[in-house]
Structure 1
Amino acid sequence: MRSVISRWPATLLAALVLLAVMPGTASATAAGNGNTLTGDADLVVVMKAERELYLYRDGLIIAQYPIALGLAPVGTKRMRGDDKTPIGAYTLDWRNPNSDFHRSIHISYPNAADRARAAALGVPPGRNIMIHGQPDYDDRPRTGDWTHGCIAVSNAAIDQIWAHVPDGTPIHIYP
């Protein structure tokens, strides 16, 4: 079985993992690019390989947004300065309305396991991993992965996420 699974595309495996975690998603429909939202999300899911962020409510996708990641997007964050976006289960725990990146919402990285892994390596784990918009200090268009570990979206997307994702919402980040 291992040889069959190893040939599956990463996106299919990630989708199967998501379905295993979120049993109600098989019948979910994405809001698409219009993302007309009412009510709050109760879960945020990031699929790094697909470069997509999903908002869920009651097991259904209510919105999705394209994302950019850290400059070294493969794998999980291990230490400060590695330009990786973490993988794992976290919480969106506070927000910055005066961010240099339009608006930003903090991801609770590093958690206890992240700190222990970094300590075992003798390195600092890093901090201030956020979901954020585009830089306010520079209006050049951004393409590809360009952050230092954060999850970047358009300014319109961060405005919607800001309005519909309360502090305390869980975020699951998948490879």
Structure 2
Amino acid sequence: MIRFRIPALMLGLAFVASCAPTPQPVSVEAPPVDFLLVDKSDRTLALYRDGAEVRRYTGLQFGDAPLGHKRFEGDERTPEGRYTIDTRNPNSAYYLSLRVSYPNAQDRAYAEGQGRDPGGDIFLHGQPNWLPAGRMPGDWTDGCIAFTNAEMDELWRLVRDGTPIEIRP
């Protein structure tokens, strides 16, 4: 008699488990994402695949002047707008890096109209290579978006060159 109860109990538990929403870890073999959304005010990055959010990172770190759109070289702001991830650098001074296509034509035109350089080299990257472990405190980049090294490992696997990224205020 016990023999029949155990399979029925296991079947019941499997059904309940399949109905419960559980967060899905990102698999090493997960397909790439097709859109990134950064919300500077919430300090989050959401990764999307086929219109569905598949992963969210919190506690992002930005440039020393995190409010407002990047306008000029050295203003320490993180850009806002629509860009793409246009290249990757495994040998960065920071743990892995994915370059954002800033400046776009509008950014260049604005800066040129002010007689200034718009700057560039904006990346999603990990912590400085000299930091043995952990995370730098506060906002510390020159306009980039910083993650933990473990988060960068995931991003490196999930984000391909050409992936659109939107950075909202």
> Above 0.5 in TM-score?
yes
Alignment of 1:85 with 2:78, yes or no, is yes
Equivalent position SS for 2:106: helix
The residue aligned with 1:52 is 44
Name the CA shift for 1:116/1:169 in 2 (closer, same or farther; >3 Å).
same
Equivalent position SS for 2:124: strand
CA distance in 2, matches of 1:71, 1:112: 25
1:55-111: CA deviations, max 9, x gaps?
100111111112101110100000000000000000000000001111000000000
- Provide structure 1 residue ranges, at least 5 long, that are not aligned to the other structure: 1-28
Alignment of 1:36 with 2:26, yes or no, is yes
Residue 39 of structure 1: CA displacement? Answer: 1.3
CA distance in 1, matches of 2:22, 2:70: 28
The residue aligned with 2:144 is 150
Residue type matched to 1:162 in 2? W
- Provide structure 2 residue ranges, at least 5 long, that are not aligned to the other structure: 1-20
CA distance in 2, matches of 1:112, 1:127: 12
1:112-127 aligned within 5 A: 112-127=105-120
Q: Give aligned-pair identity as a percent.
A: 47
Structure number with bigger Rg: 2
1:8-62: CA deviations, max 9, x gaps?
xxxxxxxxxxxxxxxxxxxxx995xx74242110001100000111110011111
Q: After TM superposition, which residue ranges in structure 1, 4 or more long, deviate above 4 angstroms? A: none
Name the CA shift for 1:104/1:30 in 2 (closer, same or farther; >3 Å).
farther
The TM-score, its normalising length taken from structure 2, stands at: 0.81
Residue type matched to 1:113 in 2? Q
The residue aligned with 2:53 is 61
CA distance in 2, matches of 1:137, 1:30: 37
Alignment of 1:167 with 2:144, yes or no, is no
Question: For this pair of structures, how many residues does the alignment match?
Answer: 145
Are the equivalent residues in 1 in contact too, given 2:135–2:148 (CA < 8 A)?
A: no
The residue aligned with 2:130 is 137
Name the CA shift for 1:41/1:167 in 2 (closer, same or farther; >3 Å).
same
CA distance in 1, matches of 2:161, 2:25: 20
CA distance in 1, matches of 2:22, 2:137: 24
Residue 145 of structure 1: CA displacement? Answer: 1.1
The TM-score, its normalising length taken from structure 1, stands at: 0.79
